[in-house]
Amino acid sequence: GESVGLHLPTLSVQEGDNSIINCAYSNSASDYFIWYKQESGKGPQFIIDIRSNMDKRQGQRVTVLLNKTVKHLSLQIAATQPGDSAVYFCAENIGGNNRLAFGKGNQVVVIP
Amino acid sequence: ETGVTQSPTHLIKTRGQQVTLRCSSQSGHNTVSWYQQALGQGPQFIFQYYREEENGRGNFPPRFSGLQFPNYSSELNVNALELDDSALYLCASSWGDRSYEQYFGPGTRLTVT
């Protein structure tokens, strides 16, 4: 499949280590955030979401942290596996609007 | 897998032609949103269809149009294709007129020559 992650910031991580992917969002009115994972040749896959009235949410091996003061979102992946290699996008929903605005994406490369 | 399907998988068109892309939403979802993803970029919102009507539009010209059918499947039509229209076109389905929890299909790769 074609490469999704041309010229994207790249995080190389050893298998088994934890990964942290960061995202800065632009609009203080954003009230809902999603992290998506996109593998080469595929559509974005929903990972985890968080609403603006929360600052932390945990899923299976993933944690999302939201800092509204500095408009920063992060995704932590515990015990990174080769299958986690992909491009990760954060997306924001602005004040009940009906669209998602995506960030540029971060490429994660897991080294076996 | 999300249950969202798109067709065709790949398509090659010539500048000036017209194209129709199709999307079937996940069972139980009544809203379809379309996005354009250029190589190396994040998806950009084109428009959304809810209950067979356009429910918001991004910064795309009128030659990008769409339809939603009673079974909630949807079409994206692009007229007068330009080279810059080459991209991965993604549809995402959700429930209701908010964009929460949108689930994406695999996309249609359009190449305009």
Q: What is the pLDDT of residues A80-94, one digit of tens each?
A: 999 999 999 999 987
> B41 CB near a chain A CB, below 8 Å?
yes
pLDDT for res A41 = 86
pLDDT for res A1 = 36
Amino acid at A70: V
> How far is CA A98 from each of CA A68, B3, B33, B47, rounded to the nearest angstrom?
21, 21, 9, 9
Chain A nearest-CA distance from B24, in A, is 14
> B89 CB near a chain A CB, below 8 Å?
no
- Give CA–CA dist A68/A72, Å, rounded: 6
- Give CA–CA dist B87/B97, Å, rounded: 26
pLDDT digits (tens, 9 = 90+) for B82-113: 999 999 999 999 987 766 788 999 999 999 99
Best residue in B100, B101, B110 to probe A by mutation, most A CBs within 10 Å? B100
pLDDT digits (tens, 9 = 90+) for A41-60: 899 999 999 999 999 999 99
Nearest CA-CA partner of B49 in B27, B79, B26, B76: B76
Mean pLDDT for the stretch of residues B64-74: 96
Question: What's the first-to-final CA gap in chain A, in angstroms?
Answer: 21
| pLDDT surpasses 50 at A29 | yes
The residue that leads in pLDDT, B78 or A9, is B78
Share of chain A above pLDDT 90, in %: 73
Q: Which range is least confidently modeled, A102-106, B58-62, B65-69? A: A102-106
Neighbours of A112 (CB within 10 A): 8
Inter-chain contact A93–B99, Cβ cutoff 8 Å?
A: yes
The answer to whether the CB of A55 falls within 8 A of the CB of A65 is yes
- Give CA–CA dist B64/B21, Å, rounded: 11
Closest CB to A42 among B43, B56, B106: B106
Closest CB to B58 among A36, A96, A99: A99
pLDDT for res A60 = 93
Task: Assign residue A49 a region (left: φ > 0; alpha: ψ between -120 and 50; beta: otherwise).
Answer: beta
